[in-house]
Amino acid sequence: MQNKEFILDIKRLGINGEGIGYYNRKAVFVKNAIPGEGINVRIIKEMPKMDIAEIVEFKKLSKDRVEPACKYYERCGACQTMHIKYQRTLELKRDLVIEAIRRYTKLNPLSFEIKKTIASDEIFNYRNKASLIVRSDKGILTTAMIEEGTNKSFAVDKCKIEDSLIHEVNSKILKLGTELKIKAYPNDDFSLRYIVTRVTKSTRKSLVCLVVKEFNEEIKKFSYSIVAKNLCDSLYVNINPDLKSNEIIKGESLFIGGEKYIVEEICKYKFKLFPSTFFQLNTNQTEKLYEETKKACKLSHQERVLDAYCGIGTISLYISNLAKEVVGIEYNKESVKAANENAKINKIKNVTFKQGDTAKVYKELIKDGHFDVLVFDPPRTGLTKELIDMILDSNARRIVYVSCNPSTLAKDLDLLTTKYQIRYIQPIDMFPNTSHIESVTLLDLKK
């Protein structure tokens, strides 16, 4: 069937932004295809349960098709839906949640409310952090991305979804690096690997972390020159010689100069940001996400709330003014340290943070008292079976599940709904021009 051509009607969008149609009862995935289109496709890869095809010719174009705003769109792969009108992507992302419920649960998605996706005010220049490869093109340092489907990098002068301040800061630093003849890939003896830059919306501050193979004299001179010329507000260096690892920042980073941290403000709350701090990438949309989370909690100043996978305490602090007590659990020690500092700078005293594995810490916490509301914002892998079993035994009145992965959300809901009832799911578009979708699900204990 390899290279076979046929007409395919695109029925829905896949989780990675591809169009999906069916041929001889087998799913066929087509990059850059839109539901509703009829396309002459060619099979380029056969697999047992699905095939991958490429577009040969359009027979019927979608009215929602637009010209991508980025010249790197076809090569880069970081964005997947830039060829679709934004309003239509909001509908398609809601459909991803519905499809996950149908596929991974015994639930009927019509038996509870799945609300319309909350749009982002900004669809470009919203991303507040970028981790970019640094490469040398004829001695000139540039930022680079990995070409989709390969392990090869290519130069990218500016990304459409990153905050413009990231580009401004990176350009100045790499211009200095070029002047100092700093070596980057593909030089055999290169030391500079990545530039990780995060910026704040409220104060317009920048924090940069240079990721290097070794902190040699060349890098030391480069780093101290960046600080001397005030090219960013805070500078760190991370030494990561492991070229095979996908982890960019590894271990502790060395503080070089400027401010120790930068501060972002959401609503009235302040949060300290360091190189490896987890923080939502779309600052303006984060306030909407946390507002939806707070609304779902339905707090009345009487509740004891658990905030699991709390990171630097963002949700914990955001809901604290309506709770009697909030206890956050986080595995990362640095994040717990930052969470405690954030509570201090916001003068919040009814929140405490515990470090460790979520299930183990939760097991100890419930010995001291019952939680009325459980808030979960887990990684893409979702909740563990051990934790779900403990939740089902807890009889907490309410669960608020913040998810970044519809598939794992659906699998977890299939187990949680043996004792809890879904009231609604609220999708939120945190990442315009990509296929990613966040959501807030409210579950109440069945009577």
CA 154 to each of CA 25, 185, 422: distance values in angstroms, whole numbers, following the listed order = 38, 11, 46
pLDDT band at 229 (very low <50, low <70, confident <90, very high): very high
Task: Determine the Cα angle at 84 with ends 26 and 119, to 5°.
Answer: 110
Q: Is 79 a catalytic residue?
A: no
In this prediction, residue 245 carries a pLDDT of: 87
Q: Confirm whether 5-65 and 129-266 share one CATH topology.
A: yes
Share of the chain above pLDDT 90, in %: 89
pLDDT band at 138 (very low <50, low <70, confident <90, very high): confident
Q: Indicate the class that CATH gives domain 129-266.
A: mainly beta
Where in 102-248 does DSSP place strands (E)?
A: 113-114, 129-137, 140-146, 153-155, 192-199, 206-212, 234-239
Q: What is the pLDDT of residues 292-348, one digit of tens each?
A: 999 999 999 999 999 999 999 999 999 999 999 999 999 999 899 999 999 999 999
In this prediction, residue 1 carries a pLDDT of: 65
Q: Which of 64-73, 177-186, 244-253, 413-422 has the lowest mean pLDDT?
A: 244-253
Say which CATH topology domain 5-65 has.
OB fold (Dihydrolipoamide Acetyltransferase, E2P) (2.40.50)
CATH number for 92-121+282-445 (one of 3.40.50.150, 3.40.50.720, 3.40.640.10, 3.30.420.40): it is: 3.40.50.150
Contact 264, 271 (CB under 8 A): yes
Parse the chain into domains and list their residue ranges. 5-65, 92-121+282-445, 129-266
pLDDT band at 148 (very low <50, low <70, confident <90, very high): confident
Pairing relationship of beta strands 38-46 and 113-114 according to DSSP bridges? unpaired
User: In the predicted model, is pLDDT for residue 6 greater than 70?
Assistant: yes
Residue matched to tokens 């290519």: 154
Nearest one of 372, 439, 384 to 412, comparing CA atoms: 384
In this prediction, residue 447 carries a pLDDT of: 83
Nearest one of 135, 235, 274 to 192, comparing CA atoms: 135
CA distance 259 to 52: 49
